Amino acid sequence: MGQCATSTVAIEAELQAPPRAAAPDADARPTRWPAAPLYRVLLERSGVEVRWGMKLGVHPEIEGLVITELTSSLVEEWNDEHPELCIQEGHVIVEVNGFQDHPSMKQELAKATSLDLLMRPIRSDLQQLAFNVFKRKHCLSATLHPADVPPDQDLGGCSICHDAMVVEQSGADQIEMAHDGAVTAHAESQRVVRLACKHHFHESCVKRWLLTGNHRCPLCNYQLDLRP
């Protein structure tokens, strides 16, 4: 459940944007959470090597962990047995095993074999923003492909940052590292990926390009499908 630095930058940029003007409401009262019932989920796994199967959106300015994608049979089993307490994309994890701060919640998700989750089915405005940004991130992951050139081949300069692009590993090795969560921000900035149109870029460069709303290849204007 490592987080992409590009997504965090995108969220911060949107959070810092000037708020839209709104008519004053004398009866409006600020709330930390939208009014919605809470529900509780109990999950168990056989060992820490078994994934919970929930991709999460998280940001320091946003309370809770927003579920952006479900990929596990553990969740499917819970939903089948508890249709009235169904876990869905967009729901917010408010508490994990009694913890509500992000570091402790993420640690429990990583190390615990049983989870007591307090959930909320409705998102606040900021949580909705996180949900949208991280859904775009997941779409990005499906859009970027490993470089299809031999290792150590010089591809010239990245057309976005103009720095040199060199494939230091095979595409399969790059993808395996990404799945293991072992890729640092520096490694990602140097890793070379390919779009469907066969043009290559630094991964961090093209992610920034696509996250800003440019859904075309920077070189040939090939239209990319980034819909969830």
- Which among 84, 102, 128 is the end of a domain? 128
Task: Write out the residue range of the structural domain in which residue 47 sits.
Answer: 5-11+34-128
Quick check: is 29 in a domain? no
Q: How far apart are CA 218 and CA 99, in angstroms?
A: 44
Residue 43 β-bridge partners: 115
**Distant-in-sequence, close-in-space partners of 116: CB < 8 Å, separation ≥ 6:** 40, 41, 42, 95, 96, 97, 98
126-176 pLDDT, tens digit each: 787 777 777 777 677 778 888 877 766 778 889 899 898 887 654 444 433
pLDDT of 111 reads: 95
Quick check: is 140 in a domain? no
Higher local confidence (pLDDT), 133 or 47: 47
- Which among 82, 98, 128 is the end of a domain? 128
The alpha helices in the chain, defined as continuous H runs, are: 5-15, 73-81, 102-111, 125-143, 171-180, 185-190, 203-211
Kind and range of the H or E run holding 39: strand 39-44
Number of H helices, E strands in the chain: 7, 10
pLDDT of 36 reads: 59
